[in-house]
């Protein structure tokens, strides 16, 4: 089910990436078009403003001529007559050829006379035509003062020219537009090339990951894909390989788990079957000793099934825990006293030591009792006769620490971390004759984890194994 989810997830991501790539291309094309249009519009506006300012500069000599006229006449009355105004302009600096009188007035000027307006200091129109209501406050950008003897007597206004009519300028603008279009085409082609390369660069590892997910879905758990680079895709490939190895380990653990359970169940069942068949066939008599032997095998099976049940509940996280304040000193002392008679039967000395009068943890009293009992039972089974088992309790920083250590036999240092694995047995101490299935310490590990604690094994100074439990104090 999980494999199918990831397979669909990567297929969805692959198709989504294709859609995003097409969206990226269309967006990029739209943005390039908008940039070209904005640049062209800005260039045209800037060119128009430049021509306007150029016209204003060229009109400055004409304002001097108008100022001289006003100084001589002391009014604008004569120029308000159209023929007089046209004649004055035709002989001014605005004329291309002041001596030519054959052409129409607008043809002989470098500027359209209808664009020129003269206003007085109150912005009332004296000469020319304005569509706007009077008076009107014109921007200084399109307004030149007319001075007579350093006194402003009016202003020359030039109307904006909305059209660029100069042929050279039109050709220049056309060439600029063609240049923009070429730039846009080259940028688009380069972007498509880069996008193609990037898509291949991105889709290639994605394709490998997708193919890997297909193989994972079919049960090929040992599949590994190349981890090239240090980008997010390389990290994704690394995570995929980690997932593949984890799934392979889980599958191997599952198969080992089934094999171990089958082995553990088959042995007592085979013994029971053999004994019962011998009794049924009359080969053996149903004596008291044989019935006790059958009872022990049944008890062994019961313990194994109970351990499996407890371990499965713990793995699923449904093992019931009732957390309350638990005082460990009295708790451990009661359990040690309860186990001392059993240990005495094998001449094993069981002692309890505490460096504190009381220490309180937040835990489930029943599960903590199960934890200590399992560890004491483990020590009872695997410690040689006439040995020692010592339970020690003390506090360290924010933890309550419990030592449960025993005498020989010892466990190899490299095998100590493996003691908490299910069905694990060491060569020396974990033999079938002891009756253990190798599940007790695995259950202890889950109980300690549920209490946010730590449990580990190390060599004991007594010659055996020391189990260390660290539980957070209240």
Supply 252's token pair.
Answer: 């191997």
Residue 111 CB-density burial (10 A; 0-12 exposed, 13-18 middle, 19+ buried): middle
Residue 357 CB-density burial (10 A; 0-12 exposed, 13-18 middle, 19+ buried): exposed
Q: Helix (H, G, I), strand (E, B), or coil: what is residue 455?
A: strand
Average pLDDT score over residue span 116-127: 84
Strand 399-407 and strand 463-472: pairing?
A: antiparallel
Average pLDDT score over residue span 2-28: 59
What is the predicted pLDDT for the residue at 97? 65
What is the predicted pLDDT for the residue at 431? 44
| Contacts of residue 10, Cβ cutoff 8 Å, sequence gap at least 6 | 206, 209, 210, 213
Residue 404 pLDDT > 90 = yes
Q: Give me the percent of the chain exceeding a pLDDT of 90.
A: 9
Q: What confidence category does residue 10 fall into, taking pLDDT thresholds of 50, 70 and 90?
A: low
Quick: pLDDT tens for 265-314: 776 777 778 878 888 887 777 787 778 777 777 876 777 777 677 767 76
Residue 348 CA: distances (Å) to CA of 342, 343, 383, 410, 417: 9, 5, 8, 16, 26
Q: What confidence category does residue 398 fall into, taking pLDDT thresholds of 50, 70 and 90?
A: confident
Q: What is the mean pLDDT of the chain?
A: 77
pTM: 0.47
What is the predicted pLDDT for the residue at 124? 83
How is residue 245 annotated by DSSP? H
Q: Give me the percent of the chain exceeding a pLDDT of 70.
A: 77
What is the predicted pLDDT for the residue at 17? 62
Residue 240 pLDDT > 50 = yes
Cα separation, 200 vs 189, in Å, equals 17
Residue 343 CB-density burial (10 A; 0-12 exposed, 13-18 middle, 19+ buried): buried
Quick: pLDDT tens for 355-378: 888 889 998 888 888 889 889 988
| DSSP β-bridge partners for residue 54 | none
Cα 377 from chain centre: 48
């Amino acid at each position: 089910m999980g494999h199918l989810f990831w397979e669909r997830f990567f297929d969805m991501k692959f198709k989504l990436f294709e859609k995003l790539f097409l969206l990226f291309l269309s967006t990029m094309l739209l943005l390039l078009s908008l940039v070209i249009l904005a640049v062209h519009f800005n260039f045209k506006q800037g060119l128009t403003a430049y021509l306007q300012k150029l016209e204003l500069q060229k009109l400055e000599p004409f304002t001097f001529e108008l100022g001289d006229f006003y100084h001589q006449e002391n009014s604008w009355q004569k120029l308000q007559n159209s023929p007089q105004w046209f004649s004055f302009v035709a002989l001014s600096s605005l004329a291309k050829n002041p001596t030519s009188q054959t052409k129409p007035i607008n043809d002989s000027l470098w500027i359209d006379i209808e664009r020129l307006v003269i206003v007085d200091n109150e912005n009332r129109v004296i000469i020319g035509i304005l569509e706007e209501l009077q008076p009107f406050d014109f921007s200084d950008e399109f307004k030149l003062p007319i001075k007579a003897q350093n006194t402003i007597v009016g202003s020359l206004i030039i109307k904006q020219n909305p059209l660029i009519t100069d042929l050279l300028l039109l050709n220049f603008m056309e060439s600029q537009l063609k240049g923009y279009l070429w730039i846009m085409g080259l940028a688009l082609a380069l972007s498509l090339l880069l996008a193609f390369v990037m898509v291949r660069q991105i889709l290639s590892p994605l394709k490998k990951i997708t193919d890997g997910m297909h193989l994972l879905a079919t049960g090929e758990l040992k599949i590994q894909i190349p981890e090239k680079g240090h980008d997010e895709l390389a990290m994704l490939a690394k995570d995929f390989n980690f997932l593949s190895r984890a799934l392979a380990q889980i599958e191997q653990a599952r198969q080992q788990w089934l094999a171990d359970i089958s082995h553990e169940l088959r042995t007592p069942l085979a013994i029971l079957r053999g004994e019962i068949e011998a009794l049924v066939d009359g080969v053996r008599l149903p004596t008291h000793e044989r019935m006790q032997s059958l009872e022990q095998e049944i008890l062994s099976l019961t313990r194994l099934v109970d351990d499996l049940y407890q371990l499965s509940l713990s793995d699923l996280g449904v093992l019931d825990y009732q957390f309350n304040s638990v005082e460990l000193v009295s708790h451990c002392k009661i359990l040690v006293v309860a186990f001392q008679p059993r240990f005495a039967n094998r001449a094993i000395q069981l002692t309890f030591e505490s460096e504190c009068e009381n220490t309180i943890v937040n835990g489930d009293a029943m599960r903590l009792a199960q934890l200590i009992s399992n560890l004491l039972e483990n020590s009872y089974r695997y410690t040689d006769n006439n040995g020692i088992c010592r339970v020690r309790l003390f506090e360290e920083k924010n933890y309550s620490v419990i030592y449960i250590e025993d005498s020989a036999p010892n466990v190899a240092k490299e095998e100590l971390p493996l003691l908490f694995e299910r069905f694990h047995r060491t060569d020396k101490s974990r033999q079938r004759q002891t009756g253990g299935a190798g599940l007790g310490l695995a259950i202890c590990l889950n109980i300690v984890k549920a209490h946010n604690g730590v449990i580990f094994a190390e060599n004991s100074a007594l010659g055996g194994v020391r189990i260390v439990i660290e539980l957070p104090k209240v």
